[in-house]
Structures are given as C-alpha cells and as structure tokens.
Structure 1
Amino acid sequence: MQRRVFSLATGGFLSLALLGGTALAQTPKPATLRVLTHSSFELPAELLAGFEQQAGVKLQIVRGGDAGEMLNKLILTRAKPVADVVFGIDNTLLQRAVAANVIEPYVGPAAQRKAAAGMGETADATGVVAGVVPVDHGYVTLNIDKAWFAKAGLALPTRLEQLAEPAYAKLLVVQNPATSSPGLAFLFANIAALGEEAAFDWWAKLRTNGVKVAKGWTEAYYTEFTRNGGTRPIVVSYASSPAAEVFFSKDKLSESPTANLFLKGGVFRQVEGVALVRGGNPAAREGAGRFIEFLRSAPAQQALQTTMWMYPAEAGAPRVEVMEQHAVEPTAFDNPPAAQMEEKGRAWVQRWTKVVLK
C-alpha cells in the first residue's frame, strides 16, 4: 500500500511505500505544532494531514473565536504562550499585536516574495509588516438580493448616502461593530471616505430610516437577508459572497442570485497574515516556519479560496473558476490608516453605539 504526502517543494503529493502496513523506516513521534487561529480558519483535512507528514509535526489547532478574541487570547497568555504560530491577525489588528509584543519577525522565503496585497501602508516591498506574512485578502462590502430589487422595480443606490433616504427605508441590515469584524470594517470604511463627523451624521439618519443591526454576520446574512427568508435585501457581507452562493447552490447556478454593491465608503480591504508567536516552544520553531511556507504554497492558496472565501495573497496565484467569474475584486476601497484604526477604533465603536443603539 502507499501513503500520499504533500510536498512543499513540488506543490503536489509524494508516495511513501509501506510494507505490510509498517513503514520501511521507523520515524520519531512528530512534535506538536500549536496553531492559534480565528474560528473561520478552514483548509481541507487531506491538505493539513499532508503537511503534517511532510513537516513531521502534529497540528494542534487552537481556535480563539473571532479575530479580535483570538488576539486578546494571545495577549493575555503572552507570559506562557498557548501557540507557536498564529494565523488571522489582519490589518485592523496588526498595530495592536505589534504594540503588545506578541509576535516575532519571520524572514523565510514566503516573507521575501511579493504579496498581492500587503498588510498595511507601512508594509515593505513584499507586503510584510513586523514579520507578519500576508496569506489572503478580501473585501467587506454591501451585497444585494438581485431578485428582490428586480421585483420591486427599485433602482440600486449609486451613493452610500442614498441608503438613508426614504426610498431605502428598512432595506439595510448591518452587523454591530462592537461584536462583528465585518461590522467594524464597514464602519472603518464609512469614516475613511466620509470623514468622522459626516459618517456619524449618516448613521443617525440610517437609524431614523430603519437600519437593522445584527450581532454578527451569520445572523445578518442567514436570518435578516431576503435571500434567506428575511426582510432586508441589502446586507453588509463580502465581495466573495456571490461566488459562495453559486458554489453551494443545490441547483448548480451559473449566475449568482446576489451581487456586490461597491459604493464609495462602503468597501474595506482586509488582509490576513500569519506570524511566529513570541515565546513559543523553541522545539516547534522549525515546524512553525514550515507552516508559514505551507500557507503561501500553491495548494493552500488555491484551497483557501473556496474554504475561507478569500483571495490568495501569493502574487500571480490563479483564481479558482467560481471566484474568477463571480467574485470580481473592487477597483477601490476605503481603509483608514492602521495607526488611526488602533488609536481611535474603540472610541468610534462607542460613538456608533450611542448614535445607533441608544
């Protein structure tokens, strides 16, 4: 019999001959590699198993909740780290991770190759900031239910400000930025494009116009969005969501029932990265480096497109067909400077809560 093993060098699978179910050569017990991730981390089990065999490690995936909760866990345990490598620090959290001194620079091959999207405005030529290697990127934006708008005969808004007008009353559902990363990203984009005062004036008008606030993306998309039986035909979601609708459709749709609405002030680019954890197990350091390289390998960059629904960070990495056809990237986005997000983010959320919920 044979065992298939993923090879980082070839980007494919190798075969190890086994005799009578026993390996020809005895191998030492694999070391444990602790990987802290957010709850949305997902890659095919076969791919992860192949990495384990090729790298000689046993993965221990530690899920830390959403990205913000994950970073909090890393900070609270920095005296005795719970992981050796962390995936899911994004450009909204990077400055906080650096300030907390919980990550160490990685300078291997993946950190030397140019990424399709960098970690922030202070990124070097490869897109790396403070040793955090970009793995994927995506866009928080507005999605619309095409059939609902066609039936209602209502024109799609062309400006963000129109969503506060009577014609669009009670049509929008958003996520609470205090409890949801896409909700926070959407708020950041609003402020970056409109300015702080104008953005909160707009939110006050949205409240009067009947905006619906959900705790998180799942509630907004699968409960409140008209596509899934709700009453709101406009939802804050992702640029890749229309592609996911096609991919998971039971009827094998050729056209997505939803579409992106790329409005000025309504698009935020998120970049996720992977980094070494400061104070991680020294015996796992080699395996941690291999995991970073693995996440930027061709098989992982392909797989994450239809498991995590993000765009690959590796420059020139091909898009899978469903993403190529149904998840066109926006030509513009609005991100505040990273330092501003870190410095003012909490105050912005508190102000949003007072304006919209209280």
Structure 2
Amino acid sequence: MQRRSLLLTLSGLAMATALPLFAHAAPTTLRVMTHSSFDLPKELLAQFEKDAGVKLQVVKAGDAGEMVNKLILTKAKPVADVVYGIDNTLLPRAQQAGIIEPYTGPASQRASVVTLGEGVVPVDYGYVTLNIDKAWFAKAGLALPTSLADLTQPAYAKLLVVQNPATSSPGQAFLMATIAGLGEEAAFDWWAKMRANGVKVAKGWTEAYYTDFSRNGGTRPIVVSYASSPAAEVFYSKEKISESPTANLFLKGGVFRQVEGVALVKGGNPAAREAAGRFIEFMRSAPVQEALQTTMWMYPADAAVPAVEVMQRHAAQPTSFDNPEPARMHSQAKAWTQRWTRTVLK
C-alpha cells in the first residue's frame, strides 16, 4: 500500500512537472531583418505573434544597403528568415548574390500599385524629391525654381542642401534621379554648377532636414527629402494646422521612386518557413498597409488600401519620376557615386 501510494505520488509529480513544460513550450522564433526605418505599431506586431504562434526577433541592420551587405556576408549561415526593406536600387544585387528565395503565396498575386521583382512582394513605395520652406520663400519674395537649371542661377545660390550619396539612401536616390532625368553627362555638369553655386552636402537625411533646412533653424530653404514629408509636418505639429509649412518641388530630374518589398531569406530556418510566409502576408494586410503610412511615411503598395487622410491632403504624388533601369543602377551606382564625389567634394 505504501509502495502504491509512493508510485502514485511520483506519477502525479511527473505529470505536474511535464504538463507546464508542454503548455509553456517556447514558440518558434522568426528572425526578421529590416532597415533602421522599420516602424509598425506594437499592437500589430503583438497580434501577429499571437496569430502565428511565433516570437518575433526584429533585427534592424542600419540602412538598406548595410542590411543587404549583412545578408550577403552571412549567406552561408543566414541570420534571418525573412527580410523587409530591399528596394529597387538593391534588388539586382540581392538577386545576383542569391540571398533571397521566391515567394509564391497569395500576397504575391495581390494587385499592387507598384512592382518590384519576381518572388519579392512589394510592401510600400515613396518618392525622394525636393522640399521647400514656404515661409522662407514668401518672406524673401523669391519665385520657386521651375527646373533644376534654375538652381544653378545666382538668385538660388546657397539655398539647397543635399545628402552625400556615399552615406545616404535619399542622397543616392536623388543622384540617380538627376542622371536618369538629365542624362549622365548633363547631370554631372549640373552638379559641377551646383558646387560653384554653393550647394551644401550633409552626411544624411537627419542632418540635412533637422539642422540645415531653414524650417528647422538652418539657412537652406530647399532640401532633398520625401514627397510625404509635408504630411509628416502636419501630423507631428505641436499645434493643430490645416496646411503644411513645407511643399514638394517635382522637377524634371529631381524625383526618384523607391519601392520596398519583403522576401524570404534563402537558407533560413526551415522550422520558421511557414511563419516567414505568414509575415509576408501580414506585411500586405490592410492594417499594416494603413499603419505604415503614418509610421514609415510611405504609400501602400496594395491597390485596395486607400491613403489615410493626412497623406491624401498633404502628400500629393508626382505625375512622373526619373529612375535608371535597375540593372544599370546596380552596375553603375559605385562609379556614379565616385564621380559625384570628385565633382562636388574634391
């Protein structure tokens, strides 16, 4: 009787220890690599984890170029299962390096405003362009430039700040727009004239927008930024305003369209492959497509998702843009950046 009682006690103890372990088994970890601008509401990410039964491990790898570099360097032993933020300037390099695997789930068939590349699902898009400080121009009584050529004239001397294409994604995008819109030789001739006319070069977007732009206390009333920036000015304004203090200049050779997507990482954890596909579907879901407009300030790729009010009213899209062919961007980007450095900085 004592032995039977002991056996029952041991059996009950085993069940008591085994059941909690089974009930609280650690969920599969889904490793998501992104660029540093990735930003979605915490509640959306938490809901995804709950629905997919996974634990998200979001790794922000710097700008998009750094992100792709890390995936290439670790391709023998991938550090991510899915990647968000590969754009049209970097996709040819990613494909050539063999770091992404085509995804053919429902999201890849959904109607999109933009396209990116086979097997990569477009998530959002935006435009790098010139922004102006409306109050500065009104006070100065100076007409807005109507072409890039205008900016080389004495009246616009020392008014523009750009980002260095060697250290900044929008800086590189703007350089590529000038080349596609003006032609390579005419573009570098324009840059040489801009150097003579006092163009200022900042390391990155933050320095250009928040230090040099006159809207934020600087001396330059024209800055390379994004078509959505005027909407962000309204959204983040401490006072309720109905009109943005900034505006876009959509000039020939001064508008670049960036398209960002999400893709499977080749060689990712097989146990997380289903969850990786669910994450791709999640990024094209209506809640995410709506939210990213006022967190990452991009336009939704899904054709069925409308622009939110602040984007509708203050982030008009250009009717045209100037992008080199993706393969040409990939093959020439380094040489163009080196030539830009010699032309503008040295």
In structure 1, list runs of 5 or more residues that go unmatched: 1-22, 120-128
Q: How many residues align?
A: 326
- SS state at 1:304 partner: helix
> Are 1:272 and 2:260 counterparts?
yes
Structure 2 stretches of 5 or more lacking a match?
Answer: 1-19
3-state secondary structure, aligned to 1:42: coil
| Deviation of 1:53 (Å) | 0.3
TM-score, length basis structure 1: 0.90
Provide runs of 4+ in structure 1 moved above 3 Å: 25-28
Taking the aligned partners of 2:317 and 2:26, their CA distance within structure 1 comes to 44
1:277, distance to aligned residue in structure 2 (A): 0.1
Distance in 1 between the 2:115 and 2:316 partners?
19
Between the aligned residues of both structures, percent identity stands at: 77
Residue identity in the other structure for 2:174:
F
Aligned to 2:10: none
Deviations, residues 123-177 of structure 1 (Å, cap 9, x unaligned): xxxxxx1311000000000000000000000000001111111110000000000
Q: 1:55 aligns with which of 9, 34, 52?
A: 52
Shift of 1:79: 0.5
Contact 1:35 1:60 in 2 (8 A): yes
**Cα deviation digits, residues 234-255 of structure 1 (max 9, x gap):** 0000000000000000001110
Match for 1:104 among 101, 104, 109?
101
Match 2:135 to one of 128, 142, 147: 147
Contact 1:189 1:268 in 2 (8 A): yes
Matched residue, 2:287: 299
Counterpart residue number, 1:71: 68
Q: Which structure has the larger Rg over C-alpha atoms?
A: 2
Say whether 1:235 aligns with 2:223.
Answer: yes
The residue aligned with 2:3 is none
CA distance in 1, matches of 2:118, 2:305: 24
Q: Tell me what 1:44 maps to.
A: 41
Distance in 2 separating the partners of 1:356 and 1:97: 29
Give the one of 316, 321, 343 matched to 2:309. 321
Return the match for 2:31 from 13, 31, 34.
Answer: 34
**Which of residues 88, 93, 114 is equivalent to 2:90?**
93
Q: CA deviation at 1:28?
A: 4.2
Q: Which moved more, 1:223-232 or 1:157-166?
A: 157-166
**Inter-partner Cα distance in structure 1 for 2:281 and 2:98:** 22
Aligned position for 1:113: 110
Residue of structure 1 aligned with 2:191, choices 175, 190, 203: 203
Partner of 1:221: 209
Indicate which of 244, 256, 280 corresponds to 1:256.
Answer: 244
Which of 283, 297, 306 aligns to 1:309? It is 297
Question: Which has a greater percent of helix?
Answer: 2
CA-CA distance at 1:26 after TM superposition? 4.0
Amino acid aligned to 1:140: V
3-state SS of the aligned residue for 2:293? Answer: coil
Q: Is the partner of 2:158 in helix, strand or coil?
A: coil
Question: What's the counterpart of residue 346 of structure 1?
Answer: 334
Amino acid at match of 1:31: T
Task: Note if 1:183 corresponds to 2:191.
Answer: no
Counterpart for residue 20 of structure 1: none
In the superposition, the TM-score normalised over structure 2's length comes to 0.93
Match status 1:212 vs 2:209? no
Distance in 1 separating the partners of 2:24 and 2:289: 29
Q: Report if aligned partners of 1:116, 1:316 keep a CA contact under 8 Å in 2.
A: no
Name the CA distance, whole Å, in 2 between partners of 1:164 and 1:61. Answer: 44
Rounded Cα–Cα distance in structure 2 between residues aligned with 1:274 and 1:211: 36
- SS of equivalent to 1:53: helix
How far apart are 1:319 and its partner, in Å? Answer: 1.0
Aligned partner (choices 135, 143, 161) of residue 123 of structure 2? 135
Q: Distance in 1 between matches of 2:25 and 2:150?
A: 64
Q: Which amino acid aligns with 1:41?
A: F
Shift of 1:316: 2.3
Per-residue CA deviations over 1:175-227 (Å, capped at 9, x if unaligned) read: 00000000000000000011100000000000000000000000000000000
Structure 1 residue 333 and structure 2 residue 330: aligned? no
Residue of structure 1 in register with 2:13 after alignment: none
What secondary structure, in the 3-state scheme, does the structure 2 residue paired with 1:188 have? helix
Q: How far did 1:27 drift? A: 6.2
Amino acid at match of 1:258: T
- Matched to 1:264, the amino acid is K
- CA root-mean-square deviation: 1.1
Q: Distance in 1 between matches of 2:183 and 2:239?
A: 44
